[in-house]
Structure 1
Amino acid sequence: MSNIIHQEQTQDSQKAAIYESLSPRRKKFIDRIGFDKWDPFQEPKNPIEIRTDTTRRTSKQLMQKFLHDCPPDEYSNAYGRGVLEMCLGIINGDDKSRAMYEFSLWYKELLKKENKEFKSGV
């Protein structure tokens, strides 16, 4: 019991020392909310949720893996932006990205059925 009281007294003295070391503007804020309500020892809030896809990869990880596994013959800024846009769209569940993905799969099958190859406009 005395250990708990000692710990509370130590925390109160630390709280007072922290308050005294603050700038006048910050002290004014604490005075407004109340010194007793102010908790300089509260745990930080959790970071923003990191969004991932169904493989549990972030957009950056997806992009890096794609570019590593399927390096393009010609890499341009537009190509990189397209890959990034698709990664972000997939992770965010964007309908535009889903449509482009589904069209790409359909087009690949169409080319396969007709024994054709994809030719870029380059």
Structure 2
Amino acid sequence: MDLVVWVDDWQMQCCGDPFGVGSRVSWKLGEPDRDWLATVLGDVRVDKAEDHHLVPADTPVTEAVVTAISAVHCAYAPKPGATSPTMYAVEGSAVLSPVESAERWTKNLGDRKFVGYLVHLRTS
């Protein structure tokens, strides 16, 4: 079975282990923040989210092989007409860049902030 998994930037930076295309991973998978991902990615398929912190301790581990990785960057701006300086992901601003490996820290891409990885997995 093939899965598309979201890996948040903060999850990687906190305690993620670098991985690459062809790597075997053992991850706990939970439900992604579908509303936020839809804002950033539009209709890009995301099945699960890799999670070190927010899933129950008894969540089973998924064993899989990484078949593709994309670094995801998006723009942030205040909401139109807002008086608050709070920044939000700009709808449809995602740039997906194929990469061979995922590291703990990925640089921003111009005015777009690195927000995570889309990882394609093949499970047995």
Q: Same fold (TM over 0.5)?
A: no
What band does the TM-score fall into relative to the shorter chain? under 0.3
Q: Who wins on radius of gyration, i.e. which is larger? A: 1
Structure number with the higher strand fraction is 2
Of structures 1 and 2, the one with the larger relative CO (CA 8 A, separation 6+) is 2
TM-score, scaled to structure 2: 0.18
Structure number with the higher helix fraction is 1
